[in-house]
Structure 1
Amino acid sequence: MSPQVNVDSPRSLKLPSQFPFSVVKIHWKQKPTEKLAMDSAPLCPLHFVFIPFMAPGHVIPMVDMAKLFARRKVNVTIVTTPLNSIQFQATIDREIKSGSPIQIQIVEFPFAEAGIPKGCESIDTLPSMSLMSNFNKAVCMMQQPIEELLEKLSPIPCCIIADKHIIYVADIANKFNVPRIIFDGTNCFHLLCNHILRKERVHEDVSHHEEKFVVPGMPGRIELKRSQLPGIFNPGKDMELNVFREQVKESEAKAYGIVVNSFEELEGEYVEEYKRVTGHKVWCVGPVSLSNNDELDKALRIQRDSSHDESKYVKWLDSWPPRSVIYVCLGSLNRAIPKQLIELGLGLEATKRPFIWVLRGGYGREEMEKWLLEDGFEERVKGRGILIKGWAPQVLILPHKAIGAFVTHCGWNSTLEGICAGVPLVTFPLFGEQFYNEKVVVQVMENGVSVGAESVVHLGEEDNSPVQVMKGNVKDAIEKVMGEGEEEEKFRERARKYRDMAWKAIEEGGSSYHNMSQLIEDILHVKG
């Protein structure tokens, strides 16, 4: 199977009915007179190729990062599949009009060959997580088409920045003799913690999953439980997934460097320690979500559901006093079981405060819909509670002056977006590295409180997951950051402090701006 690349004319696709529009092949365009936060430097003789993994939490930050590089006059190509490209087509079109040398190139997704239903080109669209192995198979089948695509690109690519889960990019980079930089999608706290645990294996010495242990070598005293560690330290029953995780780990070690969506003022000690103990090149260039620097950017950032009118949420928020509304979102790959979500909803109701609750597909959608209908929850909270069933314009909602707290699953993208908005966080980690991120928020930044979740909900084992957090826990945690006392005000002060740091880091002269310059210089040197 070879990619259909045609840079001379638009390309239409036969898409499912929920995507009633066409994908247009983007042309190189530069209009120096139409600028949007563009760097004033002359066009850089470099061409970076970005290859994101097909899941919202991976695609979104890589597209944001690609935009930032293009604004620095680096030629940028984003390689993705037809349905994934639709989601960020509008924001890339806007970048091109501003003068950025950026384009999207399409590679077909082999859903039929891999045994995946048509239209499922992103993890969050899979009808069942049991298809994860099929999905990874489809991703691996894209290697040859991507190689053929890169051969036709002009100018010739001189660097590939790819998600760490696309392991065959190592072979592609070797074939084209260009550096491969991996995008991890988390932070240096997570990278350092994983490195130490792999080396020291102290978690294996505890007698019980719920017993605490200290992670040696981490700046500060960091305590974790084995039950809170990512899947690589708690392998499940899916042997193919376990093997894949090991392959990812091996591939990481061979990369030229790692680009991280974080900023040094947030976790500087962990950045330096990770560089020291591994010898890896690390560039912190975030928060990349701040590439969306006006309301239209935020609204166009990703188009997951065209039926939503983002302006109605803003108008509703305008009707509430400052810091009065709770925003709740447990991520695009929600792993919370319905009984746990029900406790969360009842806790929100018990606060008597206004709220926006984002309920994405995820696990147990039908059961949640049944509860909402039969329990009468929506009717009881009518007027002060909004339920968004699907995608929400999070970067548009969070900075609104009415938002007083963000209840988050601690996915790193969401955590950073909350930090950039200057909002105190209520942490509800579910899976992956999210318990690490909770430590960053609650212990390192002291910018939030935990609802009390204790164990990872592993992929494919949701049915065996107990209810960990009761409605009273939810209500109490929210009140700890939204009340009017001295402690609550300290949370708000720290939230504002880190928000200001984040914005300064990404601006010209800031640490992340400097690190991006260093990366560009590094690749220029390699190319020379």
Structure 2
Amino acid sequence: MESMPKWSSSSSSCKARDETLHIVMFPWLAFGHMLPFLELSKLIAQNGHRVSLISTPRNIHRLPKLPPNLSPLINLVKLQLPKVDQLPQNAESTLDLPHHKVKYLMKAYDQLQQPMSQILSDLSPHWVIYDFAPYWFGPLASKLGISRVFFSVCVAPALCFLGPVPVLKRTSGEDDRTTPEDFTAKPKWIPFESKIGFKLFEIKSFFNDTSTNYANVPITFRFGAGIEACDVLAVRSSYEFEPEWLKLMEEVHMKPVIPIGQLPSSAYDDSFDETWYTMKESKWLDKQSNKSVVYVAFGGDTKPSQTQLTEIAFGLELSELSFFWVLRNRRGVDDTEVTELPDGFEERTKERGVVYTNWAPQLKILSHDSVGGFLSHSGLSSVVEALQFGKSLILLPFMADTGLIARHLEEKKMACLVPRDERDGSFTRNSVADSLRLVMVEEEGRIYRDKAKEMSGLFGNRAIQDKYVNNFVDYLKKHRPELAQEE
């Protein structure tokens, strides 16, 4: 363990010191989780409060550099993962592993209970904010008398769909869903009309994950234990976006629910920005017409199969649209299933497309005027980054939770989903091409372009975002243990 905080005990006044919070953040080891936790940390620090964000050394090194004005208030605590059989050396996030080996990362993560107990005892924070994965973290903090926030980086409808704690932990017979087919429709505790639900191929994958892929502790149990142990639920959402779902979350879980806004990403490391602006790929974007380019990326945790990759490639070719594709064809050194583009694809499309195989600054690409649409896996961070710049969404979800996000956005006319076979999830190059052209250029798809522009006023509005975080911080201040006792 490294980088324990050395907070100054001095302050301008006793009153200021007494009102300052110290909050510990503990995200799951996926960048789709760590980055929202970091963004929330920065917003809390802007309010003058101290944050200790705990992760592994390699992950902390890969996080965006902190702004100089906030770095004194945010301590990045490095915690070494224990060695676990079949977990490759230096594999510290889901980015480093093929999907079938994520269970070993979770196994190592679950072995952090004893060192985390020591860290919490040493730091004595007012609050901890934790993710879905450490089902043991909430009870551990509770035993130490620390107040607890369960932070969902997913949309409110997904948590509502999964159900209350007894359903999540399978401790009651309240859930009558017993087959994959049962999960393709909304459950009985959602009282209003909604198309929210899994496709059959998504829920089959989810069933497999909960039974085998997460160190023998199902995902749903992890959610249930985390929510059960918390004092308050924080969700990456807003009343402007999904008011009915936020209200339902409080009814389902019978706990305070506080939306903290969409957490639009702030700028990446300036040193990398300077490098990016001199690269040929950046200069290629500068030469393209306004809103003519489709940006293609499927996140750090998603790697399409060879069959899927082939259909996506041919779909891009058939669409005749310009594209910028950040292609990840391997997940870590232990991934033996390296995917390849169709023969001759890059040569045939070199006049109107870029295939980029290194890490790219997604925020910079999406903010570029030449980019008009985003073909994405529907990860919430990617969705927020696209909408904050008014980019239209074409979605191809590959994992269960992203399917729920995609369906929610589709229901709001905020995204177009590529048509797929509902049983096996297959799709064709023609369906990819047709969806891209619909959203990017055809008159029938104007609704998606208009909606993206409209939602940029919400997802990219820093004043609205600050309002939600300020409200959240006020709640934490009002309900921190020693203040509650004084009242």
Alignment of 1:155-166 (within 5 A): 156-166=124-134
Report what 1:220 is aligned to: 193
CA distance in 2, matches of 1:412, 1:85: 21
- Matched residue of 1:265: which SS? coil
Alignment of 1:349-364 (within 5 A): 349-362=317-330
Q: 1:267 to 1:45 in 2, by over 3 A?
A: same
Deviation at 1:174, TM superposition (A): 2.1
Q: Does 1:121 align with 2:92?
A: yes
Amino acid at match of 2:430: G
Q: 1:499 to 1:475 in 2, by over 3 A?
A: same
Deviation at 1:386, TM superposition (A): 1.3
Q: Does 1:141 align with 2:116?
A: no
CA distance in 2, matches of 1:527, 1:49: 21
Amino acid at match of 2:218: F
Q: TM-score, normalised by structure 2?
A: 0.85
Amino acid at match of 1:69: I
After superposition, the C-alpha distances for 1:101-135 in whole angstroms (9 at most, x for unaligned) are: 1111111121x345422211112212x43433322
After superposition, the C-alpha distances for 1:344-393 in whole angstroms (9 at most, x for unaligned) are: 01101111111111212456976655445xx0211221132111214221
| Larger deviation, residues 237-246 vs 276-285 | 237-246
Amino acid at match of 2:217: V
Report what 2:293 is aligned to: 325
Alignment of 1:231-246 (within 5 A): 238=212, 241=215, 243-246=217-220
Alignment of 1:200-349 (within 5 A): 201=175, 203-204=177-178, 209=181, 213-216=185-188, 217-222=190-195, 224=197, 225-229=199-203, 238=212, 241=215, 243-248=217-222, 249-290=224-265, 292=266, 297-299=267-269, 309=276, 312=279, 313-349=281-317
Amino acid at match of 1:75: R
Amino acid at match of 1:121: E
Q: Which runs of 5+ in 1 are unaligned?
A: 9-26, 33-40, 457-465
Alignment of 1:440-479 (within 5 A): 440-444=408-412, 446-454=413-421, 468-479=426-437
After superposition, the C-alpha distances for 1:56-85 in whole angstroms (9 at most, x for unaligned) are: 111111111111111111111111111011
Amino acid at match of 1:138: A
- Matched residue of 2:75: which SS? strand
Q: 1:470 to 1:246 in 2, by over 3 A?
A: closer
Amino acid at match of 1:105: V
CA distance in 1, matches of 2:53, 2:185: 42
Amino acid at match of 1:474: V
**Would the aligned equivalents of 2:291 and 2:370 in 1 still touch at CA under 8 Å?**
yes
- Matched residue of 2:302: which SS? coil
After superposition, the C-alpha distances for 1:20-66 in whole angstroms (9 at most, x for unaligned) are: xxxxxxx779999xxxxxxxx96742100001111111111111111
Q: 1:343 to 1:299 in 2, by over 3 A?
A: farther
Amino acid at match of 1:60: L
Deviation at 1:182, TM superposition (A): 1.5
After superposition, the C-alpha distances for 1:234-257 in whole angstroms (9 at most, x for unaligned) are: 666628655332531233222112
Amino acid at match of 1:448: A
The structure whose RCO (Cα within 8 Å, separation 6+) is larger is 2
Report what 1:503 is aligned to: 460
**Would the aligned equivalents of 1:339 and 1:467 in 2 still touch at CA under 8 Å?**
no
**Would the aligned equivalents of 1:61 and 1:413 in 2 still touch at CA under 8 Å?**
yes
Q: TM-score, normalised by structure 1?
A: 0.79
CA distance in 2, matches of 1:232, 1:253: 22
Q: Note the aligned Cα RMSD (angstroms).
A: 3.4
Q: Which runs of 5+ in 2 are unaligned?
A: none
Q: Does 1:101 align with 2:59?
A: no
Report what 1:48 is aligned to: 23
CA distance in 1, matches of 2:351, 2:11: 47
- Matched residue of 1:406: which SS? strand
Q: Does 1:411 align with 2:379?
A: yes
CA distance in 2, matches of 1:515, 1:134: 35
CA distance in 2, matches of 1:135, 1:396: 31
Report what 1:19 is aligned to: none
Deviation at 1:212, TM superposition (A): 5.4
**Would the aligned equivalents of 2:23 and 2:128 in 1 still touch at CA under 8 Å?**
yes
**Would the aligned equivalents of 1:232 and 1:242 in 2 still touch at CA under 8 Å?**
no
Q: 1:122 to 1:149 in 2, by over 3 A?
A: same
Deviation at 1:183, TM superposition (A): 1.9
After superposition, the C-alpha distances for 1:464-506 in whole angstroms (9 at most, x for unaligned) are: xx56111100011111111152x33332221121110123375
Deviation at 1:288, TM superposition (A): 1.6
Amino acid at match of 1:353: L
Deviation at 1:404, TM superposition (A): 1.0
- Matched residue of 1:289: which SS? coil
Q: Does 1:432 align with 2:400?
A: yes
Deviation at 1:137, TM superposition (A): 2.1
| Larger deviation, residues 62-71 vs 387-396 | 387-396
**Would the aligned equivalents of 2:100 and 2:213 in 1 still touch at CA under 8 Å?**
no
Q: Does 1:194 align with 2:162?
A: yes
- Matched residue of 1:182: which SS? strand
Deviation at 1:315, TM superposition (A): 3.0
Amino acid at match of 2:260: V
**Would the aligned equivalents of 2:54 and 2:76 in 1 still touch at CA under 8 Å?**
yes
**Would the aligned equivalents of 2:458 and 2:464 in 1 still touch at CA under 8 Å?**
no
Partner residue of 1:177 out of 135, 145, 148? 145
Report what 2:370 is aligned to: 402
Report what 2:65 is aligned to: 91
Q: 1:467 to 1:234 in 2, by over 3 A?
A: closer
**Would the aligned equivalents of 1:263 and 1:502 in 2 still touch at CA under 8 Å?**
no
CA distance in 1, matches of 2:263, 2:56: 22
| Larger deviation, residues 422-431 vs 241-250 | 241-250
